[in-house]
Structures are given as structure tokens and as C-alpha cells.
Amino acid sequence: MSLYGMMRTGVSGMNAQANRLSAVADNIGNSGTTGYKRSRTEFSTMVLPATAGSYNSGGVNSAVQSLVSAQGALAYTTSVTDLAVNGNGFFVVQSASGQPFLTRAGAFVPNGEGQLVNAAGYQLMGYSLANGEPSVAANGFGGLEPVVLADDKLVATPSTSGSFTAKLPAGATAVTGDTPGDNSATSAWNQKTSLTAYDNVGNQVTLDMYFTKTGANTWEVSVYDKRGADATSGGFPYASAALSTQTLNFDATTGQLTAGSTKELSLAIPGGGTIDLDMANMSELAGDYTLLKAQIDGNAPSAIDKVQIAKDGTVYAQYQNGTLKAMYRIPLATATSPDKLQVANGNVYSQGTDSGDIRMGFPGAGGLGDVVSGALENSNVDIAEELTGMIESQRSYTANSKVFQTGSDLMDILVNLKR
């Protein structure tokens, strides 16, 4: 037996337990850190060649692993911008220098510029919806930009699309003579509904929609700008022609629109854009006229009142008039081996040599979790388990120190034999 090897083994044991105690200290210190992932120390043997009658003690090697893939419990808050991931995935954030990182720490608040930043100062990244639904760069961070919830101006959004669904009465009497499409003072109709739309600068435009039965299973629909209504009658004749007049044809058997029937109205709003009004679900059935759905987008000049964040990562601005506007889509990122991601300051992670490539996607798709608004992910540290590990490491460290001390004492005896 080598006394030197015995002492070396004791040193390696103390060093391994010191690493474990360091990991335990970090875990306990960050037990209250949002999104923190505990570290675990694993040991492996170091074996040296031995000969018959002689044993060479080796030692122990330690390796610290971060349990990044183990989810912590969710704690619910009253802040909409507090975000957690329920399932797999990480938020993509950016440092002040523009370097991207991954994190589960979602305690985001707006800074002075309206950017959402967490406690470590990292900016939340997302895809802007200003130009429509974005496409995800599956293997990179291209197209991402800081999520900004600025409220320094009023915003008016012109109407561009809508949906209208109603049940027309199959037993209605067909109108003879002038119909709304004729724009005559003697025009007659069966049903009338008014809708509100918005022009380019946010003015409300009231649309008068007339439904007139002109024959069996056939209805005429005409839409007028309310501002052109006759001052005396409040209706016909209007100052301008109808924005659109179309014919709806219904199947006598099912009461649904036929294949060749008009299913969409295109309305050119004075001072605004063109509204495509979907009417594909109109029906003609027994009973009274029943309005089922009447929706047109757009809003009058209004400031952002509050923010809503859906579980699919869509960030909505809710204006003072109650309308919602989708502003950003927050993606999630993951790696082949999340536990092998490189840990950096501020509770963030970056791609490591053994983690595999970063993969991007939207919440709820491709095995990624959902975004939970108004919640934070607690650390996955169990204090009782850490204290137990600390006691075990303390005793093991003491025992290894005794091994080293005993080897040192025996080495002194060996050196002093000649005396």
C-alpha cells in the first residue's frame, strides 16, 4: 500500500465533498430564485493499476449536473406580465449587448422604454405581428425582437374584416316592388341590422344592413352608409348608392347557402379601407329572425389600457374602448439535452457542446409547453433534501480528512524510522 496514494485519495475525497457542498450552498442560496434549477453532484471512481500483494488506492471524481429539465411548482401572481412555462421550453431573452439566452425566469416588468425585462435585466424576445402571422426560424433566433408595450400615442385601426351570421325566417313574405337595392323612398324589406365599423382615422361608420326576401329561398342583402340616410325618414333614399348589394340563395332542403351563392360581402368604407364580411354561415330556417354573430375589427383612437397574454404566447393590447389587438407572439426554445445547457449569470442558459442544437417553436406545438400568464415558476430546490445532503457531505469530508491525517501520521513514522 502506498501511503502517498492513501493521502491522495483522502484529498480527492475532500475535494469531491467540497464540490458537493458548493452545489448545496448554491441550491439553498437560490431556493427562492424564480425559475432556478438545482445542481446535483455525481461521483465516479478513479482506479489505479494494482499488482498482486499491492493495492494502489485511486480516488473519486465529482461532476456537477444542473437539473434544468425538472420543472418547479407554479406560483400564481396578480401581474399579467409574470410568465411561466408549463411543460418543456424556455423563454428567449436578450442581454443589454444583444446576446440571446434561454431562461425560465419569467418575472417580467416594463422598463422605461416599454420593454419587458426580468429581474436580471434580460429583455423578453418575440415575433412582431404588425405584418401578419410570423414564421419561426426553427434553428435560430432570426426575426426576434424585444417585446415592447409602449403607450405613448393613441392608436386607431381601420376595419378590414368581419363576420356576420343570422338565421333568416323561412316563412317570411317575399317583397314585391322596390327593394333596398333600388335605393328608393318606397323600398321595402324584411329585416334590418346595423353594424359599426371604423375608417382610417378611427371615425365610427354605421352600416345599415337590409335583408329582403325576393323569392323562394332567395334573399337580397344591401348595405348602406348610415351617414347618407334621408334626414326625414332616417333611411331611404340614401344620398349614395349601396356599398354592396348581393343575392343569397338557400338550399330548400337544408336551409343553408348553396354552393353558388354569395358568401362574402366586400364593402368599401368611405374614408377607410375595404371590409371583407364573411357570411358563409347564414341560414334560412323556420322561426323568427335571429342574429347569431356580428363582428367587425378595428377601433377608434384609444390608448392601451392593459395587456393580455394567451397560453399560445400571443400578446394582446386591450385598448380603453375594449378592443383587442395582437401585438407579438412569444416563442419557446428547447434543446436536445436541456440538462447539458451552459449556465450563465442571471439564471440564463446558452447552447453547450453537449446540449445539442437549439430548436424554436410556438407554445403548445412540437412538444413545447404552454405559456401561463400571471404565474411564476418556483425553483426546483427541496430544502430538506439539500440539508440532508449537506450533513452527509460534512461527515464524509470529516472522514476523508481523518484518512489524510492517518496517512500523514504514518508517513512521519516511516520517515523517522532511521532515527
Task: Report pLDDT digits (tens) over 380-411.
Answer: 999 999 999 999 999 999 998 998 888 888 88
Residue 87 Cα to chain centre, angstroms: 12
- Give the C-alpha distances (Å, rounded to integers) separating 407 from 9, 111, 148: 10, 60, 64
Question: Which of 255, 294, 337 lies closest to 65, judged by CA?
Answer: 337
Contacts (Cβ under 8 Å, ≥6 apart) of 405: none
d(CA 348, CA 351): 11
Q: What is the pLDDT of residues 238-279, one digit of tens each?
A: 999 999 999 999 999 999 999 999 999 999 998 888 999 999
Coil vs helix vs strand at 182: helix
Q: What is the pLDDT of residue 156?
A: 80
Can you point out the beta strands (E) in 104-152? Answer: 109-110, 116-117, 123-128, 145-146
Extract the C-alpha cell encoding 402: 481523518
The CA distance from 361 to 75, in Å, is 25
- Band the pLDDT of 159: cuts 50, 70, 90: very high
CATH number, domain with residue 243: 2.60.98.20
Same domain, 295 and 207: yes
User: What is the three-class DSSP state of 88?
Assistant: coil
Query: Alpha helix (H) ranges present in 296-417?
Result: 383-415
Which are the contacts of 198, defined by CB distance < 8 A and separation ≥ 6?
Answer: 156, 157, 158, 159, 204, 205, 272, 298, 299, 300
Mean residue pLDDT across the chain: 90
List, in order, residues 6 or more apart from 221 with CB less than 8 Å away.
Answer: 209, 210, 211, 212, 244, 245, 246, 247, 248, 262, 265, 279
| Domain stop point among 285, 301, 317 | 301
pLDDT band at 419 (very low <50, low <70, confident <90, very high): low
Residues with Cβ within 8 Å of 326's Cβ and at least 6 positions away in sequence, in order, are 129, 314, 315, 316
Task: Supply the range of the domain harboring residue 244.
Answer: 156-301
Whether residues 296 and 310 fall in one domain: no
Q: Which of these three, 275, 301, 327, is where a domain ends?
A: 301
| Rounded distance between C-alpha atoms, residue 3 and residue 325, angstroms | 75
Residue 199 is placed in which grid cell?
A: 375608417
If pLDDT is split at 50, 70 and 90, which confidence band does 142 have? confident
From residue 195, give the alpha-carbon distance in Å to each of 31, 198, 295.
55, 10, 8
Cα–Cα–Cα angle for 121, 125, 130, rounded to 5 degrees: 135
Whether residues 192 and 280 fall in one domain? yes
* 215 has pLDDT over 90: yes
CB of 105 within 8 A of CB of 347?
yes
Distance CA 378, CA 409 (A): 49
Claim: this prediction has a pTM higher than 0.75 = no
Rounded to 5, what percent of the chain is helix, strand, coil? 15, 40, 45
Residues 296 and 308 in one domain: no
Grid cell, residue 121, equals: 435585466
Statement to judge: residues 217 and 339 lie in one domain: no
Q: What is the mean pLDDT of residues 338-359?
A: 90
Residue 318 and residue 343 in one domain: yes
Q: Are residues 94 and 110 in the same domain?
A: yes
Do 162 and 286 fall into the same domain? Answer: yes
**Cα–Cα dist 285/290, whole Å:** 10
**Percentage, residues of the chain above pLDDT 90:** 65
Q: Taking 90 as the threshold, does the pLDDT of residue 50 lie above it?
A: no
Q: Are both 201 and 260 inside the same structural domain?
A: yes
Question: Same structural domain for residues 297 and 308?
Answer: no
Is there a single domain that holds both residue 293 and residue 174? Answer: yes
Q: Using a CB cutoff of 8 Å and minimum separation of 24, what contacts does 52-58 make?
A: 54/1, 55/1, 56/1, 56/2, 56/5, 57/1, 57/2, 57/5, 57/6, 57/8, 57/9, 58/5, 58/9
**Strands, E, within 199-323: which ranges?**
204-215, 218-225, 244-249, 264-268, 274-278, 283-285, 290-296, 299-302, 304-309, 314-319
Angle at 75 between CA 366 and CA 141, to 5 degrees: 35
- pLDDT, position 1: 54
Which letter does DSSP use for residue 140 in this model? Answer: S
Please state the domain count of the chain: 3
Output Rg (C-alpha) for the chain, integer angstroms. 35
Question: What residue has cell string 325566417?
Answer: 169
Q: Phi/psi at 185 (nearest 5 deg)?
A: -60, -20
Residue after which a domain boundary falls, among 253, 272, 301: 301
Both 193 and 326 in one domain: the answer is no
